[in-house]
Each structure stands twice: as structure tokens, then as C-alpha cells.
Homo-oligomer: A and B are copies of this chain.
Amino acid sequence: MQSFTYAFPRPSVTVDMVIFGVRESRLAILLVEREATPFPGYWTLPGGFVQIDESLEEAAQRILRKETGIEAAYLEQLYTYGKPDRDPRGRVITVAYFALVAADTVSSTPESRAKWHYANELPTLGFDHNEIVEYGLRRLRYKLEYSAVGFELLPTEFTLTELQTTYEIILGVQLDKRNFRRKILEAKIIEETHNTRFGEGRPARLYRYREDAVAEVKARRLFP
């Protein structure tokens, strides 16, 4: 068997994914159950070693694909965790990534043993993964407050009510329908389609993300 020798000890580097989705009108996170030591039976974030010839983002996409079957999603680097004792087996540095996946894009893959867990009912996770999830949640709420990435959790076309409900689920607050519509439309992030969704009551116009939009709509700043 081949082996690799270095003059100084090297950490291993992994990518762990905080994958958010909406399931049954609740915010959910994809977790995998560990079989092996050091946390057998514990749930942990999906992750894996960074291969020597792939970038960090490629590693994140690879893990995402393995667990969800989808190629692309909203993806963003979260934070890098590197305390020497965070993995009892040895020095592991983890680059955490943050993904938003739309309900209709996820197909469970044969390789995946991942399951959705509601974000507000998480078990104790292995390693420092509760801390990572906690930070991912803060970042998600922050992003929703200051930008407009909520539609990443929705199908390509969606109604304004669906979008508002997604925001309410994640932020955990009720929003005013008229104010929500005013702000989201003035931000010019989404546009009308000519399609309509029929249901129980009056049909709803469908919207989609504007490809040319700048999603990072900043609120008012402290300075200048």
C-alpha cells in the first residue's frame, strides 16, 4: 500500500456540510448517523476528507451530491474549525460549508444514509457539530434578514405566500403580508412569470428569481 511521508506532522482537512431544507413547513438539516468510532450511533454533519486535487468548494459539491443527488445549490463557506482536540482521533481541521437546497431538487441517493432533522429538535451531535450547526443557523437567519436568499429553498417558480412562509419558518416570526410584498418587490430580486398556481382559493401568480439581480440587498448602514 502506498504511503505519504512528511518532515512535519500534518493535520487532515475535511469539509462538513450544514445543508438546510424546508420539510413539512419546518426548517430541517440533513444529518448522517455515524457507525464508526469516535461517536458510534451519534448523528453528525455530512462530510469527508478534502482530496488532494480538489478545491474546497469541489469537495463541498461532491459531498452535497452524494447526500442529496443534486448538482448545484446555494453554497457558501461558513467557517473553519481547528481546535486541536475537536476530534479525539487526531488533528482534523474542518472547513464548514453552508448549503440551501430546494425541496423539489433533492432526490435521495443510494449512497446516502442522511436524514432530515428539524432544526429546532436536533439531537446531541458528534464532534463539535452542534456548534457548527448553531453558527450555520445564525448565518442563515442573518442572510435572510440582510439579503434575499430565501427563494433558494423553494422550487424555481413560487408564490409570494410560499416565499413569505419560508421566511417566517426560518426567522421564527410572523410577517405582514403587505409589507413583505412591498419590500421583496422593491428589492427587485424576483420577477413575475406569466404562470399561475391554482389551488383552493384565488389562484396565485408565480414568481421566479431574477438572474440579473444582486441578491445582497443591503439595508441601511451605520456609516456613512
Residues of A within 8 A of B (CB): 1-13, 49-50, 52-56, 77, 79-80, 82-84, 91, 93, 95, 144-148, 167, 171, 173, 175, 180, 183, 187, 217, 219-224
Q: Which of B2, B3, B11, B224 is in CB contact (< 8 Å) with A13?
A: B11
B222 A93 Cβ-Cβ under 8 A: no
Can you name the residue of chain B whose Cβ is closest to the Cβ of A3?
B5
Q: Which of B10, B54, B223 is in CB contact (< 8 Å) with A145?
A: B223
Classify the secondary structure of A's interface with B: loop
Can you name the residue of chain B whose Cβ is closest to the Cβ of A187?
B222
Can you name the residue of chain B whose Cβ is closest to the Cβ of A175?
B224
Q: List 19 A-B contacts (CB under 8 A).
A: A1-B7, A2-B7, A6-B10, A11-B52, A52-B84, A52-B91, A53-B84, A55-B82, A56-B80, A77-B80, A93-B93, A145-B223, A145-B224, A148-B222, A167-B223, A171-B223, A217-B222, A219-B221, A220-B220
Can you name the residue of chain B whose Cβ is closest to the Cβ of A222?
B219
